[in-house]
């Protein structure tokens, strides 16, 4: 093309891809191009503004590694992650709702049922069942759990410590699970990178309400990525990543009865929360 102009720009770029042999890729990238061109026409950025946009994306890449993913944080704080979760994980019946993965998931060790996730904080017992939509227990479900410790940081954010506030548990025939951990606390998402700069320019808070992450997988069932949130947390209405769902809020009860403390193997008062998870069957194909 010798006469590229505003009038023909979008069609010219899309036509150049006409020989692509991947229909789904062509569908996606064509839509991306149309929307990006539409934004440019709508706001008419200056060359300096476009350069700053490119620099912002470059900095997101520079702030990402195997322990932190700035692009996931960007997706989360713009509500894109939750939109994708909602579209890709529509629920039926009493199936547990999905929510965001977040930027701090990492490989976790297999642990025996009832083991303790190490970390400083208020002792907590988490228990429940993994069920199917017909209320039958799901055996061999892998429960990948991760959270902050009582200081509001994930293990991958710390240096000089090998404590892992994460682990993987596997259910037996009864579908039950339980483990000891610490009560999660509210925390700010990382604001020392480009996403933090963006949030400040938006005049937005960076706080997340207290929660525990769960990723559940089992043969014959759809993978579920979700949280449980602490009832009464002050940030439930203003989660920086828009991940709160009413159905995922749980009551944490403090246990002070000496007999229960001894029975559960704690040294003093502890918090207890029960949370069942309902998995949907895998869709063939």
End-to-end CA distance of the chain: 42
Q: Measuring CA to CA, which residue among 227, 241, 205 is closest to residue 79?
A: 241
Distance CA(120)–CA(219), nearest Å, equals 35
pLDDT tens digits, one per residue of 196-226: 999 999 999 999 999 999 999 999 999 999 9
**Angle subtended at Cα 186 by Cα 71 and Cα 216, rounded to the nearest 5 degrees:** 65
Contact 113, 143 (CB under 8 A): no
Both tokens assigned to 30: 């064509």
pLDDT above 80: residue 243:
yes
> How many beta carbons lie within 10 A of that of residue 166, not counting itself?
24
pLDDT tens digits, one per residue of 99-121: 999 888 989 999 999 999 988 89
State mean pLDDT over 252-272.
97
pLDDT at 2: 77
Looking up tokens 């997101």, which residue turns up?
A: 60
Looking up tokens 């759809």, which residue turns up?
A: 222
Q: Measuring CA to CA, which residue among 143, 144, 167 is closest to residue 155?
A: 167
Q: Where are the alpha helices (DSSP H) in 171-212?
A: 194-202
pLDDT at 92: 86
Distance CA(4)–CA(16), nearest Å, equals 13
Contact 165, 146 (CB under 8 A): yes
pLDDT above 80: residue 19:
yes
Q: Where are the alpha helices (DSSP H) in 125-221?
A: 194-202
DSSP structure string for 94-129: TPPPP----TT-----B--TT-B---SS-EEEEEEE
pLDDT tens digits, one per residue of 22-47: 999 999 999 999 999 999 999 999 99
Provide CATH 2.60.130.10 ranges for the chain.
74-279
Contact 212, 184 (CB under 8 A): yes
> How many beta carbons lie within 10 A of that of residue 189, not counting itself?
21
From residue 15, how far is each of 18, 103, 120 by CA, in Å? 5, 37, 58
Using a cut of 0.85, tell me whether the model's pTM lies above it: yes
SS3 183: coil
Residue-averaged pLDDT of the chain: 95
pLDDT tens digits, one per residue of 49-80: 999 999 999 999 999 988 789 999 999 999 99
Distance CA(107)–CA(168), nearest Å, equals 9
What's the CATH superfamily of 74-279? Aromatic compound dioxygenase (2.60.130.10)
State mean pLDDT over 254-282.
97
Question: Pairing mode, if any, of strands 166-170 and 224-230?
Answer: unpaired
> How distant is the alpha carbon of residue 75 from its chain centre?
11
SS3 78: coil
Binned at pLDDT 50, 70 and 90, residue 285 comes out as low
């Amino acid at each position: 093309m010798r006469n590229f102009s505003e009038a023909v720009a979008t069609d010219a770029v899309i036509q150049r891809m006409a020989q692509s042999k991947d229909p789904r890729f062509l569908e996606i990238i064509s839509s991306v191009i149309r929307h990006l061109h539409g934004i440019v026409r709508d706001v008419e950025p200056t060359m300096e503004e476009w350069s700053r946009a490119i620099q912002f994306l470059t900095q997101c890449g520079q702030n990402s590694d195997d322990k932190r993913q700035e692009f996931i944080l960007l997706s989360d704080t713009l509500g894109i992650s939750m939109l994708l979760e909602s579209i890709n994980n529509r629920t039926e019946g009493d199936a547990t709702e999905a929510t965001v993965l977040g930027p701090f998931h990492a490989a976790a060790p297999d642990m025996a049922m009832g083991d303790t996730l190490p970390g400083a904080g208020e002792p907590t017992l988490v228990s429940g069942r993994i069920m199917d939509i017909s209320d039958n227990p799901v055996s061999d479900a892998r429960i990948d759990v991760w959270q902050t410790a009582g200081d509001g940081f994930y293990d991958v954010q710390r240096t000089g410590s090998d404590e892992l506030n994460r682990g993987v548990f596997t259910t037996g025939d009864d579908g039950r699970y339980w483990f000891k951990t610490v009560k999660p606390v509210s925390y700010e998402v990382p604001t020392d990178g480009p996403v933090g700069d963006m949030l400040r320019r938006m005049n937005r808070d960076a706080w997340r309400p207290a929660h525990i992450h769960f990723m559940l997988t089992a043969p014959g069932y759809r993978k579920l990525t979700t949280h449980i949130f602490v009832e009464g947390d002050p940030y439930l209405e203003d989660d920086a990543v828009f991940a709160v769902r009413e159905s995922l809020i749980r009551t944490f009860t403090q246990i002070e009865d000496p007999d229960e403390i001894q029975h559960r193997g704690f040294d003093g008062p502890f918090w207890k929360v029960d949370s069942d998870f309902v998995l949907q069957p895998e869709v063939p194909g």
